[in-house]
Structure 1
Amino acid sequence: MSDRLDGSLVGALEAFGTPDGAALLVALDFDGTLAPLVDDPTAARMTPGARAAVDRLGALVSDGGGAARVRLAFVSGRDLDDLAARADPPPGSYLVGSHGAQTGHATAQGLESVPLELSIAQRGTLAALNDALAAAVAGREGAWVQHKPSAAVLHTRQAGPEDTAAAVEAAEAAASRLGLTAMHGKDVVEIAVLETSKGEALERLRGVVADDVGSDVSRVLYAGDDTTDEKAFAVLGDGDLTLKVGDGETLAAHRVPGADDVAAVLDTLSEAIAAGP
């Protein structure tokens, strides 16, 4: 499948997979990266090609051998349980939900997650935020609010331009009033009571993976499509591999059009890792 990819990206993948003892973290966004964006988030599924490529890489990692130093992760704005249900991650995978506020690990028995606890003040702020966003979408067809353990998300993909503008303005005003930050993505505005980012989550996970593998050196491949993924690209550097999926300005060094091209990336990497020295 590497004929889908340009030569510079293939070369970067081969260099990334070089068996030099470094721990390798392959971290992937879900929506818009492995699964096409859809109006109903509960209907999101990986493309067949992406599903097969993820499973091949997961099987390679679980078999050990040359892939014993490789770990797979899914990093998403989705709630952790929702991410686990949609991604159906291979056992051994790390999961990061809610842009870093939630973490977990996939096992053969299911998801093991780190409990997320909010302070009394944070719980009160979240309740006020939920009320404000409920008011923001009231009477605006197609706009709706998703509730997370530490955040609320305004969705406007199915709303008209006027209703979208009004709902977004109300959400931004609520964030400002409550001393929170409104994070804009593709047809969403997410407001959290915990300050997190995919970049911070990746940096933490890099260290976890290095310790897990027993290596002093780690390299990260990260693929994402949205503005929130730029915070992940921003923290990665020499030796890492950054992949933007789709259009738009980006800090990523490489770009592919869609999920099936991400599948080609994963297959090319799997081949490089399996080939060994």
Structure 2
Amino acid sequence: MSELDPTLADALASFGADDAVLLVALDFDGTLAPLVDDPTTSTMTPAARDAVDTLATTTADHVLLAFVSGRDLDDLALRAEPPVGSYLVGSHGAQTGHATADGLEAVPLELTAEQAEALATLRHDLDAAVEGRDGAWVQHKPSAVVLHTRQAGTEDTHAAIAAADAAAARLGLEAMHGKDVVEIAVVHTSKGLALDRLRDVVAHDVPGPDGATRRVRVLYAGDDTTDETAFAVLRPGDVGIKVGHGDTVAAHRVADADDVATVLRHLVTATAAP
């Protein structure tokens, strides 16, 4: 994408048109980094990396950056290499932190005894669900268990997903279905809830004159079904960008990570301080 869709370009121009605090919140996998079979090898495209770093260094006084992901917080920090000052939201909002010059500063996550027991049960049940199912595997996170089926065959995928859904139902928990993943968390959260909380945090962190609360305007970009909850909480003046194919409530769409990079580069110009 060498040029933006005119409606998106207009939205970006309006995005920075007043004195609101600007928050650019970005999903990682599928948005800044292409989806890959092995998530431990995921990395931003060169164009996305350059655009993120440019946005962070040239607009730091008036644009704040956040990474919002289903990855656990430590893994997100490792893969995203966030610029200093960035907000980080991991595990769909269950974990939060901040990138400092000394590394990741994380808010401690504490589970109740009931949540810890449910997590142990989920780990046991999902580990059992993938036994003998080639390509299906389970990831243990601090507050969730994730079934990965990207490399599994159709029959094994259906069986493993059914088992995961049943495990969640037995515990009265929600199974979040994404692209080739099913995540079951013992902490009630979503990217939408996380984005609402993050908006409040930013408003507190960047007060207006005399301590007055300033409006926070949000640009959110994401590719997965789990990002739809974030798009759903956007407000007038915010910008939602769906990356790739699929149904969405976002007002705008781009094709891939390099297109997201184009958006970020355009945003640098559109929000340049006078």
TM-score range, shorter chain: over 0.9
Query: Could you tell me which residue of structure 1 aligns to residue 56 of structure 2?
Result: 58
Query: Could you tell me which residue of structure 1 aligns to residue 211 of structure 2?
Result: none
The residue correspondences of 1:93-108 to structure 2 (distance < 5 A) are: 93-108=86-101
Query: Could you tell me which residue of structure 2 aligns to residue 42 of structure 1?
Result: 40
The residue correspondences of 1:1-277 to structure 2 (distance < 5 A) are: 3-18=2-17, 20-62=18-60, 68-215=61-208, 216-274=214-272, 276-277=273-274
CA distance in 2, matches of 1:112, 1:204: 18
The SS at the match of 1:141 is coil
> Offset at 1:207?
1.4
Larger displacement relative to structure 2 (118-127 or 79-88): 118-127
The SS at the match of 2:48 is helix
| Contact kept? 1:243, 1:252, Cα under 8 Å | yes
The SS at the match of 1:208 is helix
The SS at the match of 2:271 is helix
CA distance in 1, matches of 2:3, 2:260: 10
Query: Could you tell me which residue of structure 2 aligns to residue 65 of structure 1?
Result: none
| Contact kept? 1:4, 1:261, Cα under 8 Å | no
Q: Give the letter aligned to residue 17 of structure 1.
A: G
| Contact kept? 1:223, 1:244, Cα under 8 Å | yes
TM-score normalized with structure 2 length? 0.96
The SS at the match of 1:4 is coil
| Contact kept? 2:22, 2:63, Cα under 8 Å | yes
Q: Give the letter aligned to residue 16 of structure 2.
A: G
The structure 1 segments of at least 4 consecutive aligned residues displaced by more than 2 Å after TM superposition are none
**What do residues 136-158 of structure 1 show as CA deviations (whole Å, max 9, x unaligned)?**
10000000000100000000000
In terms of fraction of residues, the more helix-rich structure is 1
CA distance in 2, matches of 1:5, 1:70: 20
**What do residues 222-250 of structure 1 show as CA deviations (whole Å, max 9, x unaligned)?**
00000000000000120100000000000
The SS at the match of 2:189 is coil
Instruction: Kindly tell me the number of residue pairs found equivalent between the two proteins.
Output: 269
> Offset at 1:69?
2.9
Q: 5+ unaligned residues in a row in structure 1: which ranges? A: 63-67
**What do residues 29-85 of structure 1 show as CA deviations (whole Å, max 9, x unaligned)?**
0000000000000000000000000000111234xxxxx232100000000000000
| Contact kept? 1:222, 1:233, Cα under 8 Å | yes
Please report the RMSD computed on the Cα atoms of aligned residues, expressed in angstroms.
Answer: 1.0
**What do residues 133-184 of structure 1 show as CA deviations (whole Å, max 9, x unaligned)?**
0011000000000010000000000000000000000000110011111000
CA distance in 1, matches of 2:206, 2:52: 20
> Offset at 1:217?
0.9
Q: Give the letter aligned to residue 15 of structure 1.
A: S
The SS at the match of 2:177 is strand
Q: Give the letter aligned to residue 222 of structure 1.
A: Y
CA distance in 2, matches of 1:60, 1:206: 22
> Offset at 1:106?
0.1
The SS at the match of 2:151 is coil
CA distance in 1, matches of 2:75, 2:182: 18
Q: Give the letter aligned to residue 236 of structure 2.
A: D
CA distance in 1, matches of 2:159, 2:168: 14
